[in-house]
Amino acid sequence: MLLHHRFFLTARRCWKQLAMADSTGPKLTYGRALTAVLLFARQIRQRTPGEEMVGLMLPASVGGALANIATLAAGRIPVNLNFTAGSDSMAVAIERCGIRTIITSRAFLEKVGIADTPAMVFLEDIRASITGADTAVAAAQARFTPMPLLRRWYGQTNDAGALATVIFSSGSTGVPKGVMLTHANILGNIDGFADLFPMSASDCFIGVLPFFHSFGLTGTLWFPLLMGCAVAYHPNPMDAKVVGELAATYNGTMLIATPTFANAYMRRCTREQFQHMRHVVVGAEKLRQPLAEAFAQHFGVELTEGYGCTEMSPVISVNFAHAGTPVPSKPGTVGRPVKGVFAKIVDQHTGEGPIVGREGLLLVQGGCLMRGYLGEPERTAEVMRDGWYVTGDIASIDEDGFITITDRLSRFSKIGGEMVPHLRIEDAINEVLGEVCAAVTAVPDASRGERVVAFYTKTDVPPAHVWEQLNQTALPRLWLPRKDHVFPVASIPTLGSGKIDLHGLRQLALSRVADL
């Protein structure tokens, strides 16, 4: 089964139900959504002869969702371009995928300040070219054509192992990698997620993550639309006021976000707006217990911490009750692997394992594991070990199977021969300041290898005070930044996914330290 073919089945079954809406006003039932997909698919096929991959530059919206499904139905592979990553990163994605056509919107380009190019095809022009007769034919096909024939007409293969998309990693630590995900990868991950969060026609997903992010594509596009529930989109996850209004209007019951976004909703959204919310799953960064407690008290719904990576399509584990298990969840962990995903800890130096109850390197495998990195077999081989994906995360798995993430290998500094964890320093600064507002990186040091540099956003607190309080903590002195390496900033560099932009953070540190 292919993703769009499964959508066809869901649309036929849920014909009159609300399928999708967004904050700009459009609302489509499943029947109208399927009709629109078939109309767009014809147009895309006509406008992209001989092309394998088609770029999409659209926000989380009804138009963005339809374009993704229609591109697959046209027999093309959709590649959602990260328009927040800058022109250089987009150029890398376009070149590696051999993209000649980019589907976008003039209104969207104007809003984000991106200039159009000859390669762009606009949704406004596609809509204008569709006649009433075209719509009537597509509606009849959508409603009455036998499903085997509809599948044959829309999509050039029935192989679930075929490529469904390429998602370019955030590039938080360097040049982005093109992660190749198949239909089977994404469908397997959806089935694992649905095992924990079964959805019904009365549910409505609030979709705020971009489709160029794996959690946005799998979690807020394909998951709700294949489960037969509604989804309401808003392209700016930090626009808490509108997110709250959207949740109230559509009786939102599920949301995937980050702790940073959840903190913004707690400040701007009311309990009444979230009164129907049953599940709020957060990931991409560590969930601090004070935020979890405050969110539960404010909204009456607990934050559920999850964990994943693009290479696993993306959900690996969720700290939520698995059916038939004696321990429903454990605060401070990212839960147990979802159905179809397997995890183990090995010694990070020797590779020996599995080991239980102590820290090591986390490896995962399952049917949702990527095909590899596009055009980069060497980089693919670097992260694969006997069929297991090496996450790069330091973690432990307890006797009940719960995973605790300690740090990332990329978020350590080697200072004087000792591995210094950045997250532990961030936690200490956050505790000193009483809120989640710190980010730590490092710069080269001629004598000790590296030096820690700390940033924080509570700008009314002098850096000297922060440094003095850090010295009163139990952190080893070797881990502490120098007094002149603690900086208040208006904001921490972040990516469109909500993660800290580690590359940008390091560049900021290099510029600040160079001025000393």
d(CA 292, CA 301): 10
Distance, C-alpha 343 to centroid of its chain? 20
pLDDT band of 424, cuts 50, 70, 90: confident
d(CA 86, CA 79): 16
Lowest mean pLDDT among 28-32, 181-185, 351-355, 501-505: 501-505
pLDDT at 324: 66
Give yes or no for a contact between 246 and 484, defined as CB atoms under 8 angstroms apart. Answer: no
User: Kind and range of the H or E element at 231?
Assistant: strand 230-233
Residue 6 CB neighbour total at 10 angstroms: 17
Tokens representing 397 are 């798995």
Scanning the structure block, which residue is given the tokens 């697959």?
72
The three-class DSSP label of residue 278 is coil
pLDDT band of 323, cuts 50, 70, 90: low
d(CA 376, CA 385): 16
Tokens representing 238 are 């930090």
pLDDT at 174: 56
List the beta bridge partners of residue 414: 419
**What integer is the mean pLDDT of 201-217?**
96
Q: Residue 117 carries which DSSP code?
A: -
Question: Is the pLDDT score of 82 beyond 60?
Answer: yes
Give yes or no for a contact between 470 and 459, defined as CB atoms under 8 angstroms apart. Answer: no
Question: Is the pLDDT score of 499 beyond 80?
Answer: no
Cα-trace Rg, the chain: 23
pLDDT band of 328, cuts 50, 70, 90: confident
Question: Is the pLDDT score of 27 beyond 90?
Answer: yes
pLDDT at 459: 93
Packing angle of the helix pair 422-433, 463-470 (nearest 10 deg)? 110
Question: Is the pLDDT score of 432 beyond 80?
Answer: yes
**What integer is the mean pLDDT of 483-489?**
95
Lowest mean pLDDT among 257-266, 365-374, 425-434, 496-505: 496-505
What share of the chain in percent tops pLDDT 90? Answer: 78
Question: Is the pLDDT score of 327 beyond 90?
Answer: no
d(CA 240, CA 425): 29
Question: Is the pLDDT score of 346 beyond 70?
Answer: yes
Scanning the structure block, which residue is given the tokens 């138009």?
63
Tokens representing 402 are 């719960």
DSSP letters spanning 30-94:
HHHHHHHHHHHHHHHHHHSTT-SEEEE---SSHHHHHHHHHHHHTT-EEEE--TTS-HHHHHHHH
Tokens representing 167 are 């998602």
pLDDT at 118: 95
d(CA 77, CA 75): 7
Lowest mean pLDDT among 155-159, 202-206, 250-254, 420-424: 155-159
Question: Is the pLDDT score of 6 beyond 90?
Answer: yes
Question: Is the pLDDT score of 329 beyond 70?
Answer: yes
Scanning the structure block, which residue is given the tokens 């529930």?
229
Question: Is the pLDDT score of 120 beyond 90?
Answer: yes
pLDDT at 423: 85
**What integer is the mean pLDDT of 417-422?**
78
Residue 287 CB neighbour total at 10 angstroms: 23
d(CA 24, CA 26): 6
Q: Sign of the C-alpha dihedral, residues 328, 330, 336, 338?
A: positive
Phi, psi of 139 (to 5 degrees): -65, -40
pLDDT at 170: 60
pLDDT band of 169, cuts 50, 70, 90: confident
pLDDT at 417: 66
Give long-range contacts, CB 8 A cutoff, 24+ apart: 354-357. Answer: 354/397, 356/397, 356/398, 356/399, 357/396, 357/397, 357/398, 357/399
Higher pLDDT, 424 or 270: 270
| Contacting residues for 143 by C-beta, under 8 A, at least 6 apart | 15, 31
* Mean pLDDT (the chain, rounded): 92
pLDDT band of 504, cuts 50, 70, 90: confident
pLDDT at 106: 96
Question: Is the pLDDT score of 173 beyond 60?
Answer: no
Question: Is the pLDDT score of 124 beyond 90?
Answer: yes
Question: Is the pLDDT score of 410 beyond 70?
Answer: no
Lowest mean pLDDT among 142-151, 241-250, 267-276, 430-439: 430-439
Q: What angle do CA 363, 344, 380 make, to 5 degrees?
A: 15
Distances (CA, A) of 493 to 213, 309, 440, 513: 17, 20, 11, 17
User: Kind and range of the H or E element at 416?
Assistant: none
For residue 421, give the amino acid letter. P
Strand intervals (E) in 319-429: 336-337, 341-346, 360-366, 372-373, 384-385, 388-397, 403-408, 412-415, 418-421
pLDDT band of 497, cuts 50, 70, 90: low
| Contacting residues for 295 by C-beta, under 8 A, at least 6 apart | 262, 263, 266, 280, 301, 302, 303
Lowest mean pLDDT among 116-125, 230-239, 497-506: 497-506
Question: Is the pLDDT score of 172 beyond 70?
Answer: no
Please report the domains of the chain, with CATH numbers, ordered by start residue. Answer: 3-182 (3.40.50.12780), 306-408 (2.30.38.10), 416-514 (3.30.300.30)
The three-class DSSP label of residue 283 is coil
d(CA 359, CA 348): 9
Question: Is the pLDDT score of 261 beyond 60?
Answer: yes
Phi, psi of 453 (to 5 degrees): -130, 130
Q: How many helices (H) and strands (E) does the chain have?
A: 18, 26
Give long-range contacts, CB 8 A cutoff, 24+ apart: 332-335. Answer: 332/289, 332/404, 333/305, 333/398, 333/402, 333/403, 333/404, 334/283, 334/305, 334/306, 334/307, 334/402, 334/403, 334/404, 334/405, 335/304, 335/305, 335/306, 335/307, 335/402, 335/403
Question: Is the pLDDT score of 24 beyond 80?
Answer: yes
